[in-house]
């Protein structure tokens, strides 16, 4: 059976090194990846799922924050990915947000961000390695807990911003040991999960691969439902 096609949004500037690793994780869990960014033509109706990758900070003007505090901004990418997240959810296409992508998912649903998370959570020493050094605890009864199990797990934490006010229809699914939100998820379908760490760097860990596998499986289900719906409409048209 054809692998589900997952659109992967990355930065034009750093996508050359980010996309291959995400694509590897998608392939290892049964899918295939298609790179997209603000400079490429992209048909959302042609993909079965979407990953919004990490990178530059989300522009504060998108959620009422203070202009000028963020160190790295990409307005073109912000505009593209905000529309991408909103449209994917409207079309019932599964979405996985990674780091910046989790924050964009939250903003797309009306949430806000803490622009200086490491000052707010001063006791939490910022970690700048891709190695899993940050402990996170999964919230009971969440989809993330169902995917990865109830035990705490160690992840990386390369972000500078963090999710603050939750977007509509989202719930917290993981916090680190200092209380900072590290994952959010939609409480109803379509599948939408955002993690503030980078699971693509932890592909050797089965609990991190489970996150990609969940997206790929959701994408497969979406594709099958879409094909069945179109077939039923065609049959009705010529009945």
| Residues annotated catalytic, as ranges | 99, 198, 200
Tell me which residue has tokens 């989790």: 102
Distance of CA 2 to the CA centre of its chain: 23
Answer positive or negative: Cα dihedral of 75, 79, 85, 88: negative
Question: How many other CB atoms are there within 10 angstroms of residue 140's CB atom?
Answer: 8
Q: At what angle do helices 100-108 and 75-90 cross, to 10 degrees?
A: 60
Question: How many other CB atoms are there within 10 angstroms of residue 186's CB atom?
Answer: 22
Length of the chain measured in residues? 239
Rounded CA separation 182/152 (Å): 12
Identify the CA nearest to 8 among candidates 84, 74, 79: 84
3-state class of 12 per DSSP?
A: coil
């Amino acid at each position: 059976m054809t692998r589900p096609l997952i659109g992967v949004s990355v930065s034009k500037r750093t996508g050359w090194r980010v996309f291959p690793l995400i694509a590897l994780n998608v392939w290892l869990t049964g899918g295939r990846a298609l790179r997209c960014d603000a400079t490429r033509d992209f048909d959302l109706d042609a993909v079965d799922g979407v990953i919004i990758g990490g990178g530059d900070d989300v522009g504060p003007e998108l959620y009422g924050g203070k202009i000028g505090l963020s160190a790295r901004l990409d307005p073109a990418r912000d505009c593209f990915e905000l529309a991408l997240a909103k449209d994917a959810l409207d079309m019932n296409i599964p979405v996985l947000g990674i780091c910046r992508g989790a924050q964009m998912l939250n903003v797309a649903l009306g949430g806000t961000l803490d622009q200086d998370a490491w000052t707010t959570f001063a006791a939490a020493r910022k970690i700048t390695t891709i190695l899993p050094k940050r402990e996170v605890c999964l919230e009971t009864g969440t989809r993330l807990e169902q995917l990865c199990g109830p035990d705490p797990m160690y992840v990386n934490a390369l972000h500078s911003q963090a999710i603050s006010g939750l977007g509509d229809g989202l719930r917290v699914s993981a916090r680190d040991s200092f209380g900072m939100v590290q994952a959010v998820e939609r409480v109803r379908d379509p599948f939408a999960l955002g993690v503030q760490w980078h699971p693509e760097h932890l592909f050797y860990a089965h609990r991190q691969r489970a996150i990609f596998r969940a997206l790929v499986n959701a994408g497969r289900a979406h594709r099958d439902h879409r094909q069945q719906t179109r077939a039923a409409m065609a049959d009705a048209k010529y009945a």
